[in-house]
């Protein structure tokens, strides 16, 4: 546990001195801000139409999840690939650290960084709560953020795992982007086909588990299990890959 | 402390090390000498638990490097050939990170101590990115020494250092080598000669010689090379010198000089000098140049199979002639 924390701490601190993390944070808050503003403006205009509506936490969560698709590869691409390129992996693999501790530590560092970004988005629900009468749906707020955190955990685990396959950050970025896109769209494909196969494809879909439950204010145990198991499986694969590297 | 038997490692179809067997005791500095690609780094990587061997067995401090990798890694301090540093950390942060990974009880005290040993106190808060190669090497060395390892494995520890630093590092290694086991690789022969208690010369993944540096030199320089310079044509002298007992391998170096080998038991030099003078030729120079370690090394690690023959041949011929 101590080793995981040591590695996670280094990783976490590294985000605050790397330009990529600042670019990601900037992009995230810029886009969220634009969506937020656009939604508020539209809602305030509709006040005077016959069909008024109150924006909920979805106006933040929806864009956030979509931005994740492009930002999380940038967050995780460095984690393992850079260690391999710089030769520092040799340092870590000859220190008394288990391979899984290394992978989990890397993941935890990235996860903590994303948690900081998520914490930053709390300004939006607070503003919304003040603007909307009689306040926004608190239950939806809690489930939405819970789902978001679970999903980010799974995505980052995949990212760290994929990064461990490469010596090059850019390669890790695009490989992970490709994997994410497949996992993102596989549910949509399933709609076109049918039968048992479509059910399996739908279950594999990464964002489907978020939008059909947490996003709607519902916590479904199968979705929680899905994200936790994707996280565990990805971290396991990453560990196996590091172990395989030793044998090469 | 280190026991290696039948160690073999293949990278795909290429055999990096082939059936290596050696050991190193506590309080011994063992030198690994060999050209690039000889398998030094591979052997060290196996001993540090970085990668497992294809076959064979290696133990460090009684622990198997594959089965008890974590125990081995706790015992070993390792400085890889390309010093693994994080450029975005300061020297102090880096050492603290490594100290934490090694669960040192008082990391701050130990880091201060090490910074003093490697003379980096003033650069402790400087970013590693800004350090020169020599300074980086010292940080790497500090990292390897952090946990006062029982076994220190150093891959080319003095590479990139300036002469004063090299002497310091060598002294440091010698100091550590009094109580701990040190395995170091180098391609600088004088370094092996000065620092190591025992030297393993490896080439193409095999051990070609193993001995103390002094003995190695003595054993391999059974014959002395003598250079003779005269006023006149050296080639005229070849026939008469060849007849002197103890002389072999005459070669004409230039029109006025030639070279021959003489055994250390039967010194042919006085007789050569007499003959030259008696023949009425002016003797300008007659001196011996014993095979340097560099030459021995080249002989041993040369690709051609006759490399080993050259070293053993003179001894055999001497026996016949004496």
* DSSP assignment letter at A207: T
Whether residues A18 and B100 touch (CB distance < 8 A) is answered with no
Best of B61, B84, B98, B143 to substitute, by most chain A Cβ atoms within 10 angstroms, is B84
Q: A158-189, pLDDT tens digit by residue?
A: 999 999 999 999 999 999 999 999 998 887 77
Mutate to test the interface with B, among A9, A95, A105, A167 (most CBs of B within 10 A): A95
What's the Cα-to-Cα distance from A139 to each of A185, A219, B17, rounded to whole Å?
Answer: 28, 10, 64
Least confidently predicted of A20-34, A77-91, B293-307: B293-307
Shortest distance between the Cα of A6 and any Cα of chain B, in A, equals: 7
Burial class of A168 by CB neighbour count within 10 A (0 to 12, 13 to 18, 19+) = middle
* Of residues A7, A95, A247, nearest to B102 (C-beta): A95
* pLDDT-above-90 percentage for chain A: 52
pLDDT band for position B314 (cuts 50, 70, 90): very low
B280 pLDDT higher than 90: no
Q: Is the pLDDT confidence value at B315 over 50?
A: no
Q: Give pLDDT, residue B223.
A: 57
Q: What number is the average pLDDT over the span A202-230?
A: 88
CB contact under 8 A, B50 and A10: no
Q: What per-residue confidence (pLDDT) applies to B308?
A: 38
pLDDT at B237: 80
**CA distances in angstroms from A57 to A70, A126, A150, B74, listed in the order given:** 21, 10, 17, 50
What is the per-residue pLDDT for B190?
Answer: 77
The per-residue pLDDT of chain B, averaged, comes to 83
Do the chains contact at B48 and A98, CB–CB below 8 Å? no
Query: If you average pLDDT over each of A51-65, B121-135, B298-312, which comes out highest?
Result: B121-135
Q: What is the chain A residue with the closest CA to B84?
A: A88
pLDDT above 60: residue A19:
yes
Range in A7-16, B50-59, B181-190 the model is least confident about: B181-190
A225 CB contacts (<8 Å, ≥6 apart)? none
For chain A, how many structural domains are there in total? Answer: 1
| Nearest Cα residue in chain B from A94 | B50
Please say if the pLDDT value at position B12 is more than 90.
Answer: no
Q: Is B92 on the interface with A (CB under 8 A)?
A: no
Q: Give the nearest chain B residue to A85 (CA atoms).
A: B84
Residue A21, domain extent: 2-247
pLDDT value at position B301?
Answer: 66
Per-residue pLDDT tens digits for B200-238? 888 888 888 888 877 776 666 555 678 888 888 888 788
Contact yes or no for B98 and A95 at CB 8 A: yes
Instruction: Check pLDDT > 70 for residue B250.
Output: yes
Residue B264 pLDDT level (bands cut at 50, 70, 90):
low
Give pLDDT, residue B302. 66
- Please give the residue of chain B at the shortest CA–CA distance from A245: B51
Check pLDDT > 80 for residue A192: no
CA distance A174 to A181: 10
* Residue (of B115, B121, B118) closest to B175 by Cα position: B118
Burial class (CB in 10 A: 0-12, 13-18, 19+), B31: buried
What is the count of residue pairs from A and B with beta carbons less than 8 Å apart? Answer: 62
Q: What residues form DSSP beta bridges with B181? A: B151
Cβ <8 Å between A87 and B82: yes
pLDDT exceeds cutoff 60 at B304 = no
Q: Which residues of A touch B (CB under 8 A)?
A: 2-3, 6-7, 10, 14, 17-18, 86-98, 246-248
Q: Do A247 and B52 count as a contact with CB atoms less than 8 A apart?
A: yes
A227 with A155: CB under 8 angstroms? no
* Predicted model pTM: 0.82
The full set of domains in chain B, from first to last, is 2-217 (3.40.50.300), 221-321 (3.30.70.100)
- A9 to chain B, closest Cα gap in Å: 9
CA dist., res. A6 & res. A231, Å (int): 20
């Amino acid at each position: 546990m101590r080793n995981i924390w040591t590695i996670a701490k280094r990783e976490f601190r590294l985000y605050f001195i790397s330009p990529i993390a600042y670019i990601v944070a900037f992009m995230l808050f810029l886009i969220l801000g634009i969506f937020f503003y656009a939604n508020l403006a539209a809602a305030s205009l509709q006040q005077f139409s016959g069909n008024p509506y109150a924006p909920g936490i979805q106006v933040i969560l929806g864009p956030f999840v979509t931005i994740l698709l492009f930002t999380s590869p940038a967050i995780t691409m460095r984690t393992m690939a850079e260690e391999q390129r710089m030769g520092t992996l040799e340092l870590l693999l000859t220190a008394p650290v288990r391979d899984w501790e290394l992978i989990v530590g890397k993941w935890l560092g990235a996860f903590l960084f994303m948690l900081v970004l998520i914490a930053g988005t709390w300004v939006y629900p607070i503003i919304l709560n003040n603007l909307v009468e009689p306040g926004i749906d608190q239950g939806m707020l809690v489930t939405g953020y819970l789902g978001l955190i679970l999903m980010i955990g799974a995505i980052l685990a995949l990212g760290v795992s994929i990064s461990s396959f490469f010596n090059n950050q850019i390669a890790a970025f695009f490989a992970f982007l490709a994997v994410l896109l497949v996992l993102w769209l596989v549910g949509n494909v399933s709609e076109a086909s049918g039968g048992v196969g479509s059910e399996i494809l739908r279950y594999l879909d990464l964002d489907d588990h978020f939008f059909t439950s947490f996003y709607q204010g519902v916590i479904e145990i199968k979705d929680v299990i899905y994200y936790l198991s994707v996280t565990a499986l990805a971290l396991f694969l990453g560990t196996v890959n590091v172990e395989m590297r030793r044998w090469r | 402390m280190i026991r290696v038997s039948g160690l073999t490692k293949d990278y795909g179809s290429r055999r990096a090390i082939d059936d290596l067997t050696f050991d190193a005791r506590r309080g011994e500095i063992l030198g690994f000498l060999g050209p690039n690609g000889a398998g030094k780094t591979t052997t060290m990587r196996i001993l540090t638990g970085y990668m497992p061997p294809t076959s064979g067995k290696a133990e460090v401090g009684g622990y198997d490097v594959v089965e008890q990798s974590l125990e081995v890694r706790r015992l070993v301090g390792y400085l890889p050939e390309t010093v693994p540093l994080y450029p975005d950390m300061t020297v102090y942060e880096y050492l603290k990170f490594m100290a934490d990974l090694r669960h040192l009880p008082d990391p701050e005290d130990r880091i201060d101590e090490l910074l003093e040993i490697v003379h980096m106190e003033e650069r402790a808060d400087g970013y590693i990115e800004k350090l020169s190669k020599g300074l980086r090497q010292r940080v790497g060395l500090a990292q390897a020494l952090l946990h006062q390892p029982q076994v220190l494995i150093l891959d080319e520890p003095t590479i990139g250092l300036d002469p004063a630093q090299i002497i310091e590092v060598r002294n440091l290694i010698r100091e550590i080598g009094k109580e701990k086991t040190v395995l170091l690789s180098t391609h600088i022969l004088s370094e092996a000669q000065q620092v190591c208690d025992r030297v393993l010369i490896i080439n193409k993944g095999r051990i070609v010689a193993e001995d103390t540096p002094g003995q190695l030199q003595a054993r391999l320089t059974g014959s002395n090379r003598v250079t003779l310079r005269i006023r006149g044509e050296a080639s005229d002298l070849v026939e008469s010198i060849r007849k002197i007992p103890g002389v072999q391998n005459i070669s004409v170096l230039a029109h006025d000089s030639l070279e021959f080998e003489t055994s250390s038991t039967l010194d042919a030099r006085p007789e050569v000098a007499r003959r030259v003078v008696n023949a009425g030729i002016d003797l300008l120079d007659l001196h011996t140049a014993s095979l340097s370690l560099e030459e021995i090394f080249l002989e041993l690690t040369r690709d051609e199979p006759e490399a080993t023959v050259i070293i053993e041949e003179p001894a055999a011929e001497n026996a016949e002639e004496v």
